[in-house]
Chains A and B, each alone.
Chain A
């Protein structure tokens, strides 16, 4: 039973990453109807940006120019990495997606795939083959509550992830820009006629998604402190599965599906021999989609989206 609660904690942390990355996919997908296959690699770039920001801030701190505590460094790292990565996201949209807005959607998916490869290889070419170790900004503290080991990092990661999701949700439901995004998701063709600046909204969507990816990247660096250029591929594709599983363009659905995927993966590895994890986990996804062909919260063949 101990291991049951322990695994719930494990799954919450792991699911947070899927959920945060899936949100980026889901927004682009819901609003622009595109698969942004570069998103996993944008997440990777976010983690690297976080690394450099953190390293820079730490060296400033050691030189005595900027004496700030480590938790503040982490907070600043998250914010700066989010800001920088949103620029990357906007650039990706400008270069890889905007020229293809009227092209078949699959073509844009291919450019996304290719931009992803460029980001990976470019990173390898610039930074070389060694992997980077994310500086440990907070001292790990393990609390054992009834046999369940919880670290302060885990609590922080889940809390920050949930907080960001809440902020995104409020942004989309309560602000004018959010309304414009929802409107665009509702009808792509008519909305420019209403005076909504379509290009700016598209850039905003990418920027927001990339900022979330950067947050995920920094948190990831805290939890799994090893960065390599290919770190975004697998997690990206799996988050993509979560995004669609949640239902087209459903923000809450994507977040929920991200956590669900985390739970499925952790618990299949626990219950069955762990060699069968992918086999069983993705069979479950397949079965879910066979019975709910439009995702968990999606609607059948409808332009209507809930964002």
Chain B
């Protein structure tokens, strides 16, 4: 918990612990069911309840946006969040503790995939229903999911391999443009590529291909950074990767057939929530397996001592190259999804600002940890949407928070923690 417990007096602490104690036995299955019920509840009574509390409409991001705009509504927001989210989730978690654990245990008797899929379906249903309230929430949700993928892919290099790579905006740009070029040229009547080649409903098959193609282009591009990394590392690699970002931006600005500095727009609207969700889940799953494999251990070995790793028969060159290409591939996929969510990209989207953003998410969440990347991306995105009403001061508050986090937890919020799917879905008693 983020709360600093030592500031509480001892009895409060004890009471809190006794209060929380039963919840430690709640299985993930029950939590997800609770969340699903909360989302359904919001769908059913959210609007009238919000109206009754004087909020006008359903608070879009747990009321965070409203709080800053109209402080008088804070009590209403708190009541809303309590009634719609906290109470139902808590209640259902408690009520179904036994049942949930039993079911979770039952599910684990089949191959683990079954249980995982059940959990994911629950999660997806929750997000879908929650995001249904309005399109803004849906957009934020999709962008947040994509951020998770992008952050995680950067964590492979910066966290697991311990380099300080600044090349991610470049990879994102390659993926975004690679995927967009395919979809826009084939499916859209557009002034750059002319009329659409296909008119039929081929999106479901072409879109994954174009994303993968974008990923592959990014992976090939990453060789520009990966090959120098054989001979150098750390600081020198940092500026090689930074130069790479400048080069890619300038390169795309000079590519007239994808619109140059004007950018590429009107991508087909294929990156809806289910598509994004599936890609992000697959991405997280693959990356998690990658970093937990021997390859992941090799990455850690390279980070901790390259020469020793070499002596221990780790093929450091192969390791670095694979890590860069792998990371770039997923960044490229993320970039492709990003382009299709916004349905517009231009080269200046992928500059220094983007770099600061992705770096902040990785280090805010925590190095060397899948959990960390999820926490970092979700936290950062929610925060930056919630603080929108502050206008200029948003960019003072966010950096201050990040500095505090860095000072008190130098490796990020949840660093060096393994993301063990079995442990998550297992029954808790």
Contacts and interface: CB of A to CB of B under 8 A. Distances in A.
Nearest to A234: B352
Interface stretch (B120-128, B210-218, B239-247, B320-328): B239-247
Given A110-B359, A293-B231, A276 B403 contact: no
A165 B407 CA distance: 34
A60 interface: no
User: In which size bucket is the chain A interface?
Assistant: 35 or more
Interface residues of B, number: 43
Contact of A111 (B228, B246, B250, B403): B403
Interface string A101-127: 011111111110111011011101100
Contacts of A248: 235
A69 B11 CA distance: 72
A99 B352 CA distance: 26
A115 B395 CA distance: 11
Interface string A259-287: 00000000000000001111100110110
A282 B232 contact: no
A100 interface: yes
Nearest to A242: B239
A237 B393 contact: no
Interface in B185-232: 224, 227-228, 231-232
Contacts of A282: 243-244, 246-247, 250
A134 interface: no
Contacts of A48: none
A240 interface: yes
B160 interface: no
Contacts of A121: 392-393, 395-396, 399
Contact of B239 (A102, A120, A245, A276): A245
Contact of B356 (A96, A113, A122, A275): A113
B406 interface: yes
B352 A237 contact: yes
Contacts of B119: none
B236 to A, nearest CB: 6
A4 to B, nearest CB: 24
A119 B392 CA distance: 12
B251 interface: yes
B179 to A, nearest CB: 22
B3 interface: no
A295 interface: yes
Contacts of A277: 250
Contacts of A109: 164, 359
Interface of A: 29, 35, 95-96, 99-100, 102-111, 113-115, 117-118, 120-122, 124-125, 233-234, 237, 240-241, 244-245, 248, 275-279, 282-283, 285-286, 289-290, 293-295, 298
Given A237-B242, A241-B239, A279-B250, 16 more contacts: A35-B235, A100-B410, A107-B412, A114-B399, A117-B356, A118-B400, A121-B399, A125-B392, A237-B352, A240-B239, A240-B242, A278-B250, A282-B250, A285-B239, A286-B247, A293-B228
